[in-house]
Amino acid sequence: MSLHIKKLISASLVALGAAAISAAAQAEIKIGLITTLSGGGAALGQDQRDGFMLAVEQNGGKLGGQDVTVIIEDDQMKPEQGVQIARKMVNNDKVDFVTGIIFSNVMMAARTPILDAKVFLIGSNAGPSPMTGAECSPYFFSTSWNNDQLHEGAGEIATKLGYKNMYLMAPNYQAGKDALAGFKRFYKGEVLDEVYTQIGQLDYSVEIAQLQQAKPDAVYVMYPGSMGVNFVKQYRQAGLLGTLPLISAATIDGSTLPALQDLALGAITNAPWAVNLDNPQSQQFVKAFQAKYNRVPSQYAAQSYDAANLLDSAIRKVDGNMKDKEALRKALEAADFKSIRGDFKYNTNHFPITDWYRVDVVKDENGKAALHAVDVVLKDHKDAYYEQCKM
């Protein structure tokens, strides 16, 4: 074989190899979305799903310029179901990313098969404290918060309002424990009692009678989904809302307010985002979400919308090459996208450094109950565990 022919063959093989790499880079990207679409947390999961899919639609059915398939599964708020779905997505569906997950007990279970397989997990709600600190992972990123953070701002609010003693309540699972730990970290007064109730509980009449007997200056609770709807209704029926101040997080929010409406007026919450935030990305998101789904988005939708746009930015930076995990990790760390929060940057543990707001339930210009940010409580706030993260 002549040297000339050998060179032609060699050049052809190089060209074929380059074409194969290019084809691999352009292959359809698979994303698994695990969320809660049944039971008491269904409204949260529906918003998480719809926020993500809105961003995909706005990008023409693509992310980062690449075709994407989004596989959506219902974890039913059950850790064992979350694990089963995670294994299926990683082993059978061969997803490139997993996102979503509303509840922390599901996150703590489902993360293992995902992260062990070195598949990037983009959490858009649950942020269990172990995953923020000592059990952090280079393959986990959050577009929401560490669980404690959601409640640290509430502790700061209660302190600023001058409440000398408070009564605390939350469900008995990871997020509930993180909630009260976070609240106490920033609350400077006396905690009269902290009560953990069964997850999924809907009747709080006994607990409400007990807290009345304690005679606190104010009450702090964390009850997501239908738990929050029932607690607030029963708190109002007991004649307490408006007389015994109620502060909360993940209780009265965009997913539960439609069921509560005026019953929630006067409540004070803490949140990383609200529909009245004055930044262009948030404003266009709220308008587009309302136009498509005919409802006001919650923070669950907003955080999931951010997750999709984070992926869009990272996939674009690596030109759709899912094989180079190191480059993909750096692209995610850069967080080069326009967030609904405005400024968005990652701490060393892949959790956001972000502002937190006092968000009150008030009547809007149309006379309807609405969640409006009224003040920045914590500025550029870092979680309490990032220094324990060794990556």
Residue 23 has pLDDT above 60, yes or no: no
**Residue 6 pLDDT > 60, yes or no?**
no
Q: According to the model, what pLDDT value does residue 217 have?
A: 98
CATH of the domain at 115: 3.40.50.2300
**Domains: count for the chain:** 2
Best CA proximity match to 305, nearest among 124, 48, 51: 51
Task: Report yes or no on 117 lying in a domain.
Answer: yes
> Mapping DSSP to helix (H, G, I), strand (E, B) and coil, where does residue 43 land?
helix
pLDDT of residue 391: 87
Q: How far apart are CA 239 and CA 246, in angstroms?
A: 12
Which pTM value belongs to this model? Answer: 0.90
19 within some domain: no
Are 58 and 174 contained in the same domain? no
> 157-215, pLDDT tens digit by residue?
999 999 999 999 999 999 999 999 999 999 999 999 999 999 999 999 999 999 999 99
- Considering the domain architecture, whether residues 133 and 154 belong to the same structural domain is answered as no
Tens digit of pLDDT for each residue in 100-124? 999 999 999 999 999 999 999 999 9
Domain membership of residue 140 (yes or no) is yes
User: In terms of domains, do 380 and 258 share one?
Assistant: yes
On whether both 257 and 157 belong to a single domain, the answer is yes
pLDDT at 21: 41
For residue 16, tell me if it sits in a domain.
Answer: no
- Quickly state the pLDDT bin for 13 (edges 50, 70, 90): very low
- The reply to whether 292 and 234 lie within a common domain is no
pLDDT tens digit string along 27-50? 689 999 999 999 989 999 999 999
Residue 3: inside a domain, yes or no? no
| pLDDT reported for residue 5 | 38
Q: Of 314, 317, 354, nearest to 139 (Cα)?
A: 314
257 and 168: one domain?
yes
Question: Does 262 lie in the same domain as 178?
Answer: yes
If asked whether residues 219 and 177 sit together in one domain, one would say yes
pLDDT value at position 232? Answer: 97
The predicted structure's pLDDT at residue 2: 45
Residue 14 maps to a domain:
no
Query: Are 291 and 342 found together in one domain?
Result: yes
Residue 351 lies in a domain: no
Q: Are 224 and 195 members of one domain?
A: yes
Query: What would the pLDDT profile of 347-368 be if each residue is shown by its tens digit?
Result: 999 999 999 999 999 999 889 9
In the numeric block, the tokens 């004055």 are attached to 278
Give dist(CA 206, CA 309) in Å, integer.
44
CA distance 68 to 60: 10
Q: Kindly state the greatest CA–CA separation across the chain.
A: 97
Query: Region 288-292: what's the mean pLDDT?
Result: 98
Same domain for 32 and 118, yes or no, is yes
Range name among 2-11, 86-95, 176-185 with the lowest pLDDT average: 2-11
Same-domain status, 187 and 291: no
Full domain range(s) for residue 57: 24-145+277-346
Which residues neighbour 60 within 8 Å (Cβ) at sequence distance 6 or greater? none
- Helix %, strand %, coil % of the chain (to 5): 45, 20, 35
pLDDT of residue 10: 41
Q: In the chain, which ranges are E strands?
A: 29-35, 62-63, 66-74, 97-100, 120-123, 140-142, 165-171, 190-197, 218-221, 246-248, 268-271, 345-346, 352-363, 369-381
pLDDT at position 280 is: 97
Is residue 96 included in any domain, yes or no?
yes
